[in-house]
Chain A
Amino acid sequence: MLSETNLKKVEELKKRYPTTQALVLPVLWMVQEEHGYISQDSMKYVAGLLNVPYGHILGVVTFYTMYHTKPVGKHHIEVCTNVSCLLRGSGKIVRHLENRLGIKLGETSKDGKWTLSEVECMGSCGTAPMFAIGEEYYENLSPEKVDKILEALR
């Protein structure tokens, strides 16, 4: 389930914490980075790897919003709609994205290329409105800017 490189990293990480359970979050991140999401089999694998009950892993995965239990689109657009973004027009950005991509918030396009999600405050309030795709923040958005970003990703 995990690459050799990541398994080596796991061994390194063990030195940083007094328990292996502390590796649950970092290892789940590795799984998601390698596979795109965290399947039930992956959870069982992590449970075995860290000697933590499967139920515990399931509890953790479903608690944190950034872990996906299902595959997401190739480009996962996460739009902030919290107050600072709301005040600067995130509603318009959401409607524009929905129109352009033909999907609603929370949906994935049929070709698996796009997933559109609403997220809570991303700490981009001074550069609102914004969305993130992966680790990249796209800020000070306008519908025109959104079109350019989408075009570059198509």
Chain B
Amino acid sequence: MLQKPVNAKEVTTWEPVIIPDIPDLHKIDIYQAHGGYKALQKVFGMKPDDVIEEVKKSGLRGRGGACFPTGLKWSFMPKQSAKPKYLCVNGDESEPGTFKDRAIFEFNPHQLIEGTLITCYAIGAQTAYIYIRGEYGKWIRMMQKAVDDAYARNLVGENILGSGFTINIYIHKGAGAYICGEESALMNSIEGERGYPRVKPPFPAQYGLWGCPTTINNVETITNVPVIISRGAEWYSKVGAAKHPGPILVGVSGHVNQPGVYEMPTGEPLVNIIYKYAGGVPGNKGVKAVIPGGSSTMILRGDQLEGVRMDADSMKAAGSAVGTAGMIVMDEDTDLIEVITRIAKFYYHESCGQCTPCREGTGWLWKVLKRFEQNEGRQEDIDLLMDVANNIEGNTICALGDAAAWPVQSMIRRFRDEFERRVKPDSRKVSREEVAA
């Protein structure tokens, strides 16, 4: 259990650049008055390869969950291609505990558009699709308005600002499927298919949308790009953690006094995020556990948070991941079995059904966890859960299988006592066959 620190470390002072504190920044006039679309003009005077080089030097890593180096991803795109090239911007944002891209759509849509244009220029794409989850109908309208305004000023469309470059941006509305946040499922969804992930290789840079070279980046990742161009890779690379630099949007939810999205440099201590940014825990209760980066990341015990920071290396060392930086805080009274059962239900519901280990395994996990929830767990169920999770992990086409396995594995590893307490005292030994049935 983590108790309120007596001398919480001071918050790093940070002037936000992803969602700056400027009233009405979502309006094109205001955005331009604050230097908006200047990075785009700068880029038109650069070679596309130099833009990629700049982003590589900045050290920007994807903000969608995998922390993959963005510039490196762009460099996988073929220089010469007989087929058209595409950019997909992933705004499916469906990982439970994640609500940061929504803030970008609402408060700084033009920076996302500018980043999209710069990325298209760098990779040689003339068309970008911004895929936004269907539930965000209201935010899709906000984005559409911003795109329309940018078209009206010739910042998007044909021969942008007389540069000779044509880039079109289209918004594509999802229809309710977590799996469409997986890059290849998202492409299938744009193509009018069910959101089934594709077997990789081939990777999107070789065979993406309609079999053409495609790059796909998260909304927040793309929104970082204009900052790198205008302030320089040198400046950007010095923000936050050395190996995972830049500003990051951390969404804090659950048992905190001030839940919300906070922009900060990477590498901020989790303890500071809970107590300084999010105002601590209601009733000054202790922190029992934290899910640091969306529901698929491994759960951390409250008493292991000291010294853990919000960057890829620190999080990995602690046995979890940055993920989407959607941090869910749970106080000392939380029923963790209820939490893990709900998470398992989610993955069971969202499994696309292509791969047997995930389609069947996620259902089994949920079914067995429900027994614990009702204090009906059996002695052998804990090992059974581990066994099922281990056999899903790594055995599926996409990462949803892993995402379903990790929370269960980490919950058992770090909170085994919670499970043991929910075992029915007189539970008899049941054979494996009986359990599976």
- Shortest Cβ distance from residue B363 to the other chain A in the assembled complex, whole angstroms: 16
Contacts of A136 in B (CB 8 A): 138
Given contacts A29-B175, A63-B177, A87-B330, contact A123 B102 (CB under 8 A): yes
Q: Tell which of B151-159, B184-192, B300-308, B380-388 binds the partner.
A: B184-192
Contact (Cβ within 8 A) B251 A125: yes
Contacts of B328 in A (CB 8 A): 83-84, 87, 125
Interchain CA distance A134-B135 in the complex, whole Å: 9
Contacts of A65 in B (CB 8 A): 175-177
Contacts of A84 in B (CB 8 A): 96-97, 253-254, 259, 328
Interchain CA distance A122-B178 in the complex, whole Å: 10
Is the CB of A137 closer than 8 A to any CB of chain B?
A: yes
Contact (Cβ within 8 A) A60 B259: no
Contacts of B174 in A (CB 8 A): 25, 64, 66
- Shortest Cβ distance from residue B263 to the other chain A in the assembled complex, whole angstroms: 13
Is the CB of A19 closer than 8 A to any CB of chain B?
A: yes
Is the CB of B137 closer than 8 A to any CB of chain A?
A: yes
Is the CB of A22 closer than 8 A to any CB of chain B?
A: yes
Is the CB of A128 closer than 8 A to any CB of chain B?
A: yes
Interchain CA distance A90-B170 in the complex, whole Å: 35
Closest to A124 in B: B99
Interchain CA distance A21-B188 in the complex, whole Å: 11
- Shortest Cβ distance from residue B330 to the other chain A in the assembled complex, whole angstroms: 6
Closest to B339 in A: A83
Chain B 349-383 interface 0/1 with A at a Cβ cutoff of 8 Å (1 = within): 11010000000000000000000000000000000
Is the CB of B133 closer than 8 A to any CB of chain A?
A: yes
Is the CB of B247 closer than 8 A to any CB of chain A?
A: no
Q: How many residues of A contact B (CB 8 A)?
A: 43
Closest to A63 in B: B194
- Shortest Cβ distance from residue B427 to the other chain A in the assembled complex, whole angstroms: 27
Chain B 252-284 interface 0/1 with A at a Cβ cutoff of 8 Å (1 = within): 111100011100000000000000000000000
Contact (Cβ within 8 A) B136 A125: no
Contacts of B352 in A (CB 8 A): 63
Interface residues on B, range: 35 or more
**A22 contact from B190, B346, B350, Cβ within 8 A:** B190
Contacts of A50 in B (CB 8 A): 192
Interchain CA distance A86-B335 in the complex, whole Å: 11
Contact (Cβ within 8 A) B99 A81: no
Q: List CB contacts (< 8 Å) of A33-67 with chain B.
A: 50, 52, 59-60, 63-67
Chain A 75-92 interface 0/1 with B at a Cβ cutoff of 8 Å (1 = within): 000000111101110000
Contact (Cβ within 8 A) B97 A125: yes
Contact (Cβ within 8 A) A29 B93: no
Contact (Cβ within 8 A) A132 B135: yes
Is the CB of B338 closer than 8 A to any CB of chain A?
A: yes
Interchain CA distance A71-B334 in the complex, whole Å: 38
Contact (Cβ within 8 A) A26 B173: yes
Is the CB of A121 closer than 8 A to any CB of chain B?
A: yes
Contact (Cβ within 8 A) A64 B176: yes
Grouping DSSP codes into helix (H, G, I), strand (E, B) and loop, the B interface class, with mixed when no group exceeds half, is mixed
Given contacts A25-B189, A88-B254, A121-B346, contact A128 B339 (CB under 8 A): no
Contact (Cβ within 8 A) A25 B342: no
Closest to B261 in A: A126
- Shortest Cβ distance from residue A61 to the other chain B in the assembled complex, whole angstroms: 9
Is the CB of B389 closer than 8 A to any CB of chain A?
A: no
Contact (Cβ within 8 A) A125 B192: no
Contact (Cβ within 8 A) B176 A83: no
Contact (Cβ within 8 A) A123 B98: yes
By CB atoms of chain A within 10 A, which of B173, B193, B350 has the most? B193
Is the CB of B295 closer than 8 A to any CB of chain A?
A: yes
Is the CB of B16 closer than 8 A to any CB of chain A?
A: no
Given contacts A84-B254, A123-B135, contact A21 B96 (CB under 8 A): no
Closest to B259 in A: A126
Contact (Cβ within 8 A) A83 B191: no
Interchain CA distance A61-B165 in the complex, whole Å: 38
Q: List CB contacts (< 8 Å) of A4-40 with chain B.
A: 16-19, 21-26, 28-29
Contacts of B349 in A (CB 8 A): 120
- Shortest Cβ distance from residue A117 to the other chain B in the assembled complex, whole angstroms: 11
Contacts of B251 in A (CB 8 A): 125-126
Contact (Cβ within 8 A) A121 B193: no
Contact (Cβ within 8 A) A29 B194: no
Closest to A122 in B: B135
Closest to B84 in A: A18
Contact (Cβ within 8 A) A19 B342: no
Interchain CA distance A52-B338 in the complex, whole Å: 44
Closest to B350 in A: A120
Across the A-B interface, give the 5 residue pairs with the lowest CB-CB distance, nearest first: A66-B176, A24-B192, A64-B175, A135-B137, A125-B253
Residues of B within 8 A of A (CB): 84, 93-99, 101-102, 133-138, 141, 168, 170, 172-178, 189-195, 210, 251-255, 259-261, 291, 295, 326, 328, 330, 334, 338-339, 342-343, 346, 349-350, 352
Can you give 29 A-B contacts (C-beta < 8 A)? A17-B190, A19-B210, A22-B190, A23-B192, A25-B174, A52-B192, A63-B177, A63-B194, A63-B195, A64-B134, A64-B175, A64-B194, A65-B175, A67-B176, A81-B342, A86-B338, A88-B254, A120-B96, A120-B349, A123-B101, A123-B135, A124-B99, A125-B251, A125-B254, A125-B328, A128-B253, A134-B137, A135-B138, A135-B141
